[in-house]
Structure 1
Amino acid sequence: MTTLHTEPGARLPDGSGLSRHVVVAPGMCSGGSLLFGRIGDWTWEVVSESCRINVHAARTADGDPAYLSFYYYRVRGGDVVHPHGLTFGDELRVDSRSFQFGNQSVITLHRLAPAGLDLPDGPLDPAEVYEHPHPDCLYAENFNRWIARTTAGSNRGLAQVTPPDFGYQDLPPLPNAYSPRAFVGRARSTGSFHPDGPPGFQETGEPRTFTYTLDVVRDLNGAGLMYFASYFSVFDTMLLRLWRSLGRTDEQFLRRKVTDQKIGYFGNADPGTVFEVTVRHWRSAASPDVEIADMALRDTATGHLVAVTAIETGTAGDRSPGSG
């Protein structure tokens, strides 16, 4: 069996990442967003280590707080490790690595593997993540950009800014072939990851629209910003409403298997914000148990696009007679 490291992890020889042994605890597994929050915390840790900066206390050149915000988050589930399939005591090997992506941003890749799985030696290779993923593993991609408030106490009009001590220069560059910039940019301009529908899928009905009010108890982080993992929760709440409208049960929802989810973060929100969420839903023509829900989250007061997501799920054995 591979010798595994205990948290907080062993630094890679080139300084670009960490490898750690993780025992799944209650605070990182659920039918909701707990795992996504934990992966995001690992991203901040890896960037702190590899870029020689305290991400948690970063400051602009003017001394104002700077935040390593999430601009794009993708997670792909494997046959063994998938987002809502973990439980107490599961043991994982987690390999993480950050890559240079301009002077204001960084990309961090993570592989969550069953402990003891035979894996390639050396640091996590982007070619594995993007081209040859191991079928048993979960992979996460975090594209983060530095931001700061432009108005005290407001989460609107956040500006891109780079802390002067952000030491990204020694990070390995991410090959251009794997860059998500154009892909995420199209999602921002069209309000969808699948504006024309995913190839090989059939839409199950007309788009649905739901409303959601920002929850100040759950949705804000300690800096007063809408928490990146809360976007997962909001979208999952909308997915649950969709499933209920299709005649499915909550138990079926909890058994869903997320094989691929993408979120583009294009804004933040203040307390009291009411969102309008437009949901489109497709089913694979070749594999009816594979479905994709695409959602756009907008501020109802301004119409501003705040975020988009596409969630691919497997529903084998869980489709009801009236499921669309």
Structure 2
Amino acid sequence: MTLPGHRPDTSSLRREVLISPGMCGAGSLVFGQIGDWTWEAVAAACGTNVHAARTADGRPAYLSFYYYRVRAGRTLHPHGLSFGDELRVDSRVFQFGGRSAVTLHRLAPAGLDLPDGPLDAAEVYERPHPDCLYAENFNRWIARSRSGSNESLAQTAPPDFAHRHLPRLPNAHSPRSPVGRAREAGSFHSAPPPGFAPAGPGFSCGYELDTVRDLNGAGLVYFAAYFAIFDTALLRSWRALGRADEQFLRRRVVDERIGFFGNADPGAAFRIEVRRWRGGPERPGAEIADMALRDAASGRLLAVASIETAPDGGEDRNGDGQER
């Protein structure tokens, strides 16, 4: 349950949230909920009916997700929320060109001593509160180029998308370069992440797009479904290592990133490649899963993901890629 929001300034929304069953769990529900908060924040800040936006020529326009990152704190992590948890959620929308926006969110335990003003980008990127969870959403307006097709989506924006009054995100924190490099390399980690080393052989699996569960009301692959698809591949790779499903459910995700580079039509089949990186002496037990999602028929890159888990997430303690 989300109570009516307060607006610290015209770019911001603040909500008091009671976590309900539809907001939490081991799957993608929390990511979908944060995405809904992004749409609500953009609608309030930009004066646009995000849920029914149209291009100048009357086509439906969608505020799509291009980059999504969540970083956990010591108190909150994305799969650690449960029924009845009380949160304060601060959201702020930043100007990022005429066809896109960046929205930052801070999820904090209710009652935590926090500033009353709008969420500061410097806090999110430079000095995060250790008890909070932070989310970063880079969204771009898109529309279908061809009726009935989810391929070759065009960048466009509704004419009433007001953005020039919004604060600018400092260039040092722009997600455009890191997500662009990830798209070009097919990975957020073209080189070993600092403090990590390769962990065993790679893993590959297929996935058939589920028409019942993976499409949204506009007939596009739902952005939160990508989280579930990557988790499905990750769970399969964990099972191949001999790890139990209970370990997967206990995992503590401390940093998760997805770059969304394409959509797909019903009936599509995907191929997902998984690489693992193991933390060194300074990060014992930490692990990063580095994944790429491609269309199985064409090889077209649709998304990449990086999921870092903390040592209490069912990690490999034997150093050989196997659970015992």
Instruction: Tell me the TM-score normalised to structure 1 length.
Output: 0.96
- 1:162 offset after TM fit, Å? 1.2
Instruction: Tell me the TM-score normalised to structure 2 length.
Output: 0.96
- 1:269 offset after TM fit, Å? 0.5
SS of residue in 1 equivalent to 2:227:
helix
Residue 30 of structure 2: aligned partner:
35
How far apart in 2 are the matches of 1:6 and 1:149?
A: 32
* Residue of 294, 301, 307 corresponding to 1:305: 301
Q: Is the Cα–Cα contact under 8 Å of residues 248 and 323 in structure 1 kept in the other structure?
A: no
Residue identity matched to 2:164: Q
Q: Is the Cα–Cα contact under 8 Å of residues 75 and 141 in structure 1 kept in the other structure?
A: yes
Residue identity matched to 2:238: W
SS of residue in 1 equivalent to 2:200:
coil
* Residue of 68, 71, 74 corresponding to 1:76: 71
Q: Kindly report structure 1 stretches of 4+ aligned residues shifted beyond 4 Å.
A: 320-323
Within the alignment, does 1:189 sit opposite 2:181 as a pair? no
* Residue of 221, 226, 229 corresponding to 1:226: 221
SS of residue in 1 equivalent to 2:38:
helix
Q: Is the Cα–Cα contact under 8 Å of residues 247 and 323 in structure 1 kept in the other structure?
A: no
Within the alignment, does 1:171 sit opposite 2:166 as a pair? yes
Within the alignment, does 1:132 sit opposite 2:127 as a pair? yes
- 1:317 offset after TM fit, Å? 7.1
Partner deviation per Cα, 1:51-99 (whole Å, 9 max, x = no partner): 0010000000000000000000000011111100011000000000000
SS of residue in 2 equivalent to 1:43:
helix
Partner deviation per Cα, 1:266-304 (whole Å, 9 max, x = no partner): 000111110010110011012231100000000011111
- 1:120 offset after TM fit, Å? 1.9
Structure 2 residue ranges without an equivalent (≥5): none
Percent identity at matched positions?
Answer: 67
Residue 210 of structure 1: aligned partner:
205
Q: Is the Cα–Cα contact under 8 Å of residues 251 and 313 in structure 2 kept in the other structure?
A: no
How many residues matched? 319
SS of residue in 1 equivalent to 2:277:
strand
How far apart in 1 are the matches of 2:198 and 2:240?
A: 15
Within the alignment, does 1:252 sit opposite 2:255 as a pair? no
Residue identity matched to 1:313: T
SS of residue in 2 equivalent to 1:94:
strand
SS of residue in 1 equivalent to 2:48:
coil
How far apart in 1 are the matches of 2:314 and 2:187?
A: 27
- 1:17 offset after TM fit, Å? 1.1
Q: Is the Cα–Cα contact under 8 Å of residues 18 and 96 in structure 1 kept in the other structure?
A: yes
Residue identity matched to 1:288: P
Query: What is the alpha-carbon root mean square deviation over aligned residues?
Result: 1.3
Residue identity matched to 1:314: A
